[in-house]
Structure 1
């Protein structure tokens, strides 16, 4: 039997990529049963497949998640931080598996997701690609090996000019991997950019630097800078499909799993 998937945030860049990848069977065993987004979008009522630039899906873009969510096996959510948190209580009530790629979530919104994970399987990740999740492992291992040896860590990220949050969710994943290796708490050491006269860089700090321009899909680099040498670990996405395919692999994996908060490392077995 196929896994019934609802795409939330279906009219966005990632939503369209998800629909296209489902319709073109980039991940086997999935069936699109719902496409949901905001009420004021021009594509409302149009066929979801045609909206995404692929073949007809036989269902239209709608605004009400309640029409399709309860009967789905999994909801794949790339909507917005307030939309994701706002839907959490309903998804908890239905017990539908939930794959969340939404970024920019604050502490209160993350708490709503945690509460849902007590009643449904939830996969939460700032980036769904295999490469980025492998990079997180490499960054953590590198930081652990260099701990106490005087290496400063900085995270640089570049994205398209339509991205709303900064630093990116992926940059924060990488920063968290670095602090895990160093034995620090990211909240205590995060520095978002620098301006003016901030003074000498403190030892216990991780800087985040965000670039926005054009149609950059996503570039991330973690710098480990020591005296006399610089180590850079990087990942470049050249197609949004890599994120969509990862999210759909997570959807296939999460369907039927026990209620718990999972990460892409769980999905990918890293």
Structure 2
């Protein structure tokens, strides 16, 4: 399997190289901002092979069977177009997509296989499934749903993509639109909590990889569902597992539940 990695020189990109090689995949190339500089810096990652550094996704897509992409949301639309044109499968971990971005992903999935997930950890995938089931079992008029997440101090978006995915799972379980019940961080005289809303609290500090807790609280009890990641490698390993699964599938939009055989 020929694997291409978008954003090869980034922290996640380098982990994806190591995970791919450890899984026995052939890393054929990756996109980067500064080819000459990154060629020297990434030499140690090539092991016994060579990695072609590409200036754009079109070039990378042509040489790859599947591209793993954890880059910036601004790249989603051009990447979708390039991968669709080349017929190359796409593992997408970028979060914070707009409606137009998601439409581009959906359009691409009509022609190529796409695994899209906010988090590629097997544990988080199970948390999302449980969050949906708990949303169904614990009615909004009795149980208030709140999501607390904490990440490293460099993270630029809040709430995290995983936190939002948990909220979406709860909303789906309750049969409501997430946009109608999502409540951002509270501050000041915000009034009493409304029945049915799903609240978020985002904490930042140090080098915490990722912690998420879903709380269902009634007048008489509380249920907490938590996940803690210790190493970013868990996301890279999951993405490579998704890539290996995806190359055997037909065109369509998939998620990690599909990869793990859960749905």
TM-score when normalising by structure 2: 0.94
Which position in structure 1 is the counterpart of 2:13? 15
Distance 1:38 1:265 in 2: 33
Distance 1:62 1:68 in 2: 6
Q: Which consecutive aligned stretches of 4+ in structure 1 deviate over 4 angstroms post-superposition?
A: none
Instruction: Summarize the alignment of residues 143-182 of structure 1 with structure 2, pairs less than 5 Å apart.
Output: 143-148=135-140, 150-182=142-174
Instruction: Summarize the alignment of residues 85-124 of structure 1 with structure 2, pairs less than 5 Å apart.
Output: 85-124=77-116
Among 193, 203, 216, which residue is 1:201 paired with?
Answer: 193
Superposed CA RMSD in Å reads 1.7
Distance 1:56 1:230 in 2: 53
Q: 1:137 to 1:49 in 2, by over 3 A?
A: farther
SS in structure 2 of the partner of residue 70 of structure 1: helix
Which position in structure 1 is the counterpart of 2:261? 269
Which runs of 5 or more structure 2 residues have no equivalent in the other structure? Answer: none
| More helix as a share of residues | 2
Is 2:44 the counterpart of 1:44?
no
How many equivalent residue pairs? Answer: 262
Distance 2:197 2:48 in 1: 50
Instruction: Summarize the alignment of residues 43-82 of structure 1 with structure 2, pairs less than 5 Å apart.
Output: 43-46=37-40, 48=42, 50=44, 55=47, 57-82=49-74
Distance 1:225 1:42 in 2: 54
Distance 1:262 1:197 in 2: 42
Contact 1:45 1:62 in 2 (8 A): no
SS in structure 2 of the partner of residue 119 of structure 1: coil
Query: What per-residue deviation string (whole Å, max 9, x for no partner) do you get for residues 132-163 of structure 1?
Result: 00011111111211125510001111111111
Q: 1:226 to 1:6 in 2, by over 3 A?
A: same
More deviation, 141-150/230-239 = 141-150
Distance 2:161 2:129 in 1: 16
Query: What per-residue deviation string (whole Å, max 9, x for no partner) do you get for residues 196-223 of structure 1?
Result: 1111100021011111111110000001
Which position in structure 2 is the counterpart of 1:217? 209
Contact 1:143 1:181 in 2 (8 A): yes
Is 2:184 the counterpart of 1:186?
no
Among 225, 228, 233, which residue is 1:233 paired with?
Answer: 225
Query: What per-residue deviation string (whole Å, max 9, x for no partner) do you get for residues 91-117 of structure 1?
Result: 111110000001111111111111111
Which runs of 5 or more structure 1 residues have no equivalent in the other structure? Answer: none
Distance 1:96 1:71 in 2: 9
TM-score when normalising by structure 1: 0.92
Query: What per-residue deviation string (whole Å, max 9, x for no partner) do you get for residues 144-195 of structure 1?
Result: 1112551000111111111122111111111111111111110111111011
Q: 1:154 to 1:42 in 2, by over 3 A?
A: farther
